[in-house]
Chains A and B, each alone.
Chain A
Amino acid sequence: MVIGQSTVLAAAFPPSVEDFYLPSILPWGEHNAYWFTKITVLVWVAVAAIIIFFLMSYRKPQLVPTKKQWLAESIYGFVRNNIAVDMIGPQGVRFAPYLTTLFMFILVNNFFGILPLVQISPMSHIAFPAVLAVVSYVMFIWVGIRKHGIGYFKMAVVPNAPLGILPLLVPIEIFSNFLVRPFSLAVRLFANMFAGHMLLLVFTLGGFAMINANVLLAPVSVLSWVLTIAITFLEFMVICLQAYVFTVLTASYVQGSLADEH
């Protein structure tokens, strides 16, 4: 009766939060050890893969690029021109390296969510989006202080509005700019990847649950697995979109910090 479930995943139906916390690799099978788990290994693999890709393809840059060099340049060029310069303006070029790194880090880590046999994204653990959100948070505040001095905070929280309405607006601005921003950044990415993984789990494990409950439900199980594939494609879109959104929002916050006083 439990053939499918136990061979595919040691997980029960319905899937739960615990499915995101796989037993650790070193020490093997430990449940409360987090230094060396599938998740952390994936993060290191992502970092190594990105570094190797860029170093390999940009070892000997040429004016007329090779295919690999062209690909690396296209990624950087995309973030540089379509995100950094578009959002921030000409001075956005100096943020392009960080934004590209951020974009690639999120994209590759997200992509693990649909990579066959890996199929879980480190970004579905809030720790990683949180780190990135904190970096963005510190960065846009730092950029603001560098540009406007301490007056940045006044500029950021006091909108150009009649005096009477300021007591209402200032707390909202403080709340939205300095409290909500990092959380929304982190939670948006985390929740998308979490939900994506959960969806895939529901449809995959649901297929096994149904075929185990009654053999007559086999067609529904097949439908469920077909939908898993469809959702994988949907996830691919979400993966790219979320990497893009995180990067664009970071750029937009930096832009807000660099803007002249209104």
Chain B
Amino acid sequence: MLTYLAAAEGATEHNPIVPVWQEIVVGSVAFGVLCFVLIKFVFPQMEKTFQARVDAIEGGIKRAEAAQAEANQLLEQYKAQLAEARTEAARIRDEARADAEGIRQDVLAKAREESDRIIAAGNEQLSAQRDSIVRELRSEVGTIAVDLASKIVGEALADEARTRGTVERFIADLDTAGQR
């Protein structure tokens, strides 16, 4: 205590829990000024900024949700269109397959008809030719045979009448053979 009294010469002793009134005034004014400036000019601005930020974020979320919904709707639409296109394609394929089958049947039928026709025509022609050949042969055979016979027999054909009878018989034989 002695040293302290010496250090604080001339000063009255202070009690630390008794406030100094000048300091109360200074403290009140200083704190008042601080409160005034901060509460009036700074913190309302901050609240505004916070609000703006919240709005911005919420707006962003809302926009994102809208975009998402639109995308989903488009996706559904595309899916529906795709399914429609698939059934359409299947239908077209089935039709085409049926058409192809029909065409094939037609072509086959026509071909068969044509081939029948050609075969019939061929047969007819063949038989006509055969008939004409037979006819030609028949007329020629007599002459050739007579020639041949006359050459073989020569001038030894005394009995003309008998000869003629033989020839006719021969030809009749030929006729029956040709008809067979």
| A interface residues, Cβ below 8 angstroms from B | 10-13, 16-18, 20-21, 31-32, 34-35, 39-40, 43-44, 46-47, 50-51, 54-55, 58, 61-63, 65, 72-73, 76-77, 93, 96-98, 100-101, 104-105, 122, 125-128, 130-132, 135, 187, 190, 194
In the complex where A17-B16, A187-B17 touch, is A101 in contact with B46 (Cβ < 8 A)? Answer: no
Across the interface, do B46 and A73 meet the contact criterion of CB distance under 8 Å? yes
In the complex where A40-B23, A126-B18, A126-B19 touch, is A21 in contact with B11 (Cβ < 8 A)? Answer: yes
- Which residues in chain B, 1-52, are within 8 Å of chain A measured between CB atoms? 1, 3-4, 6-8, 10-24, 26-28, 30-31, 33-35, 37-39, 41-50, 52
Across the interface, do B31 and A96 meet the contact criterion of CB distance under 8 Å? no
Measured between C-beta atoms, what is the minimum distance from A197 to chain B in Å? 11
User: Which chain B positions have C-beta within 8 A of A20?
Assistant: 14, 16
Complex-state Cα separation, A98 to B23, whole angstroms: 21
Chain B minimum-CB-distance residue to A73: B46
Across the interface, do B14 and A17 meet the contact criterion of CB distance under 8 Å? yes
The 6 A-B residue pairs with the shortest CB-CB distance in the complex, in nearest-first order: A127-B23, A127-B19, A31-B11, A97-B43, A34-B22, A12-B3
| B interface residues, Cβ below 8 angstroms from A | 1, 3-4, 6-8, 10-24, 26-28, 30-31, 33-35, 37-39, 41-50, 52-53, 56
Across the interface, do B19 and A55 meet the contact criterion of CB distance under 8 Å? no
Across the interface, do B46 and A76 meet the contact criterion of CB distance under 8 Å? yes
In the complex where A126-B18, A127-B23 touch, is A55 in contact with B42 (Cβ < 8 A)? Answer: yes
Measured between C-beta atoms, what is the minimum distance from A143 to chain B in Å? 16
User: Which chain A positions have C-beta within 8 A of B12?
Assistant: 31-32
Across the interface, do A40 and B26 meet the contact criterion of CB distance under 8 Å? yes
Complex-state Cα separation, A55 to B30, whole angstroms: 17
